[in-house]
Structure 1
Amino acid sequence: MVKTLPKQGETYFLNLRFILILTVFIGNAIEPLIHQMDGLHALFLWIFTFHMPLFVFVTGYFAKGGLDGTAGRKTLLQIGLQYIIFQSLYSFLDMTVFRVENIHRSFFAPYLLLWFLASHMGWRLLTLGMRKLSPTTQVVISLALGVLIGYLPLDGAWLSFSRTFVYLPFFVIGYHFSFDAFVQFFTKKKRMIAAAASATLFVIIALWGLQMPEGWLFGSMTFMQLGHTEWYAGLYRLALYGLQFASAAAFLAWVPFGQSHLTDLGRRTLYVFLLHGFIIRLAVVSGLYSYIHHPAAAMLLIAGAVLLAVALAQPIVRKMARPVVEPPVTWILRLERMSIGRTS
């Protein structure tokens, strides 16, 4: 189940990946202030209409290079190690340095942003399980699962159970996405229309959408947790899918096709994703947000998030943090071979 990535497609999606990690960093940085400043609230809601769906979509696209076989097993093992390492690190620092209370610490409850690692393993395994089906059937099934999971009477955050199924359609679509067909379809005129639609959506949210329930955008809660026990609650998720697909498609217009420094930064977004949480937590416990009351200060906060994202994507950070962020898994495979050799 190995597919190849067109060079131009790889460039475009690396550009997109870094732009998305900027929105992730910005969204997390401004979250403590969204109920104090309407502008930040609108920006936060707008970002959440597309950034995680697109991030999952990009992850699915890059999974073409190795979903199964040895490459797929190595990826799953590495994701598992990353989860164990960072779940331990974040929990340890919360208890000893940041002194954060009222957080349920368990390997079965992913710590904040680490839900993505738990769900990534699920997306890969579920896509592998559907590999004999046609791409269209896979998308339809994943959409149905994304809706049906909301009806289960459970805690959606447990092992990121809810988000795994809610975002599965975006992973499946990304995996089967044809960049060549996309280039032919996404003409300059259509890109201009899409960019205008993306900007218009932000304006609509700023003017009339600030009451949008944030819980629906997170994808981490079941319908019962969201306060909807109606039999037709699944229709709300279908409507949300429509909004997310439209917003994500429109946002693609902002992404450059050509190779640049942005492309190189896009190769190291994993470091930004896994490490920026420490910075956000430090900013919160330091009392920084108590000094931000003016839009100018909020703009400085956003600028700081952008600069720190660029800093975390530098080669020196990768060199220093690689053993933790990209832990080697060859020793696990070696132990596995040795174990099989002894039992055979």
Structure 2
Amino acid sequence: MPEPVPTAVRAGGEVRPAPGRSEPHREAFFDNAKYLAIVLVAVGHAWEPLREGSRTVTALYTVVYAFHMPAFIVLSGYFSRGFDGRPKQIGRLVTGVAVPYVVFEVAYTFFIRWTDGAPGRDISLLDPLYLTWFLAALFVWRLTAPVWRLVRWPLPFALAIAMLATLSSSIGTDLALQRILQFLPYFVLGLLLEPEHFRLVRRRAMRALALPVFAAALAVAYWAVPRTDYAWFFHDDSAEQLGAPPWLGPVMTLATFGCSLTLVACFLAWTPGRRTWFTALGGATLYGYLLHGFVKQAAGPAGWYDHDAVHRPLGLLVVTLVAAVTVTLLCTRPVRWALRWAMEPRARWAFRRDGVVQDRVAA
């Protein structure tokens, strides 16, 4: 959904901190958080065909969608704190975000044509297809990072933009602009965070509180399934497009922001801070994010969900495990070695040498 994050947080490469900030380094905590979040992304996608007729699956799906992308985006903002538009940073943004966006926009278009057995849509680099929306959004957000450091009240301003976006149904699909604007506050919040904020949410008291909060969130989601539209958490439509009165858009922006941040804090509270068997996989979440979409797309035409057993509790468990294992394998070293040319191209030939020299002098 996904350097980025995928490496949700590292898309475009690690960036230097702003003046006065300590140099970022790879901490097990952040790699663990990225891996666990990408697993939730894959699991959420795997649950989509199981929602119909199941209130429980829909409630689980709603809770997961309430925080997994906000978590990615907050972390992406946190690791973008030092982005100030230097030539080397722009180069990394192009090779680490723009190039994968183009490659996978084209790849998904042809793959969907093939699996659906129809010509389908034309290739359009302005209309992100499926998971590629996140790369388009990250590219725009990161370019605006220097602006948010100049604004006096960046988070309220970003929230105001998100609230106004829900009032307009005329915002088109170009570069997933509706999502860019509505998810913007999470990225801006990440820009404002300091290491001590993450230490606060990892305290023992916070971990003790996280479990009942998640339980309450699941109970509320179960109650809300027949009463509200979980699509508010997608941040992909205006209030009018969701069949709601315009005034509800800004209200739901604030409500979902508070709900999502609460669950993100609970998620981070239970994220291990030590090195684990999956820590190294957290540095390759972009691979799992973009590649698992092909598996999900193939599942429908292949009839994987046509069996009644899949829609039973044991089937749900199997689907969940298969999704988790699949995305894990897609983050491993062999996959990264085979597809580095598309995900992390160096492309030094495409950039002027004097730009790199100027960047080094400025540093």
Q: Distance in 1 between matches of 2:100 and 2:345?
A: 7
Establish whether residue 203 from structure 1 lines up as the match of residue 219 from structure 2: yes
Establish whether residue 53 from structure 1 lines up as the match of residue 67 from structure 2: no
Q: Distance in 2 between matches of 1:34 and 1:232?
A: 25
Q: Over residues 64-111 of structure 1, what are the superposed CA-to-partner deviations in whole Å (9 max), with x where a residue is unaligned?
A: 354531342023212111111100001011123442676575222110
Q: Distance in 2 between matches of 1:223 and 1:262?
A: 40
Q: Which moved more, 1:115-124 or 1:76-85?
A: 76-85
Of 245, 248, 269, the match for 2:285: 269
Q: Distance in 2 between matches of 1:336 and 1:227?
A: 53
Q: Distance in 2 between matches of 1:12 and 1:269?
A: 14
Provide the identity percentage.
28
- 1:133: how far off? 2.7
State the superposition RMSD in angstroms.
Answer: 2.3
Q: Distance in 2 between matches of 1:225 and 1:104?
A: 24
Which one-letter code corresponds to 1:236 in the other structure?
A: M
Establish whether residue 302 from structure 1 lines up as the match of residue 320 from structure 2: yes
Q: Distance in 2 between matches of 1:228 and 1:336?
A: 53
Q: Distance in 2 between matches of 1:213 and 1:22?
A: 24
Distance 1:21 1:100, change over 3 A: farther
Contact 2:80–2:145 (Cα < 8 Å) also in 1: no
What is aligned with 2:10? Answer: none
Q: Over residues 231-280 of structure 1, what are the superposed CA-to-partner deviations in whole Å (9 max), with x where a residue is unaligned?
A: 45312222221211222222222211112222211011010001010010
What is aligned with 1:12? Answer: 29
Of 266, 281, 291, the match for 2:297: 281
Pairing of 1:1-344 with structure 2 (within 5 A)? 2-3=16-17, 4-5=22-23, 7=25, 10-64=27-81, 66-78=83-95, 79-99=97-117, 105-134=123-152, 137-184=153-200, 186-231=202-247, 233-291=249-307, 292-334=310-352
- Structure 2 residues not aligned, in runs of 5+: 1-14, 356-363
**Number of residue equivalences:** 335
- Structure 1 residues not aligned, in runs of 5+: 338-344
Contact 1:198–1:250 (Cα < 8 Å) also in 2: yes
More helix by share: 1
- 1:164: how far off? 0.8
Distance 1:100 1:261, change over 3 A: farther
Partner SS state of residue 290, structure 1: coil
Partner SS state of residue 328, structure 1: coil
Q: Distance in 2 between matches of 1:153 and 1:200?
A: 33
- 1:155: how far off? 4.1
Distance 1:187 1:335, change over 3 A: closer
Contact 1:156–1:220 (Cα < 8 Å) also in 2: no
Partner SS state of residue 213, structure 2: helix
Distance 1:217 1:181, change over 3 A: closer
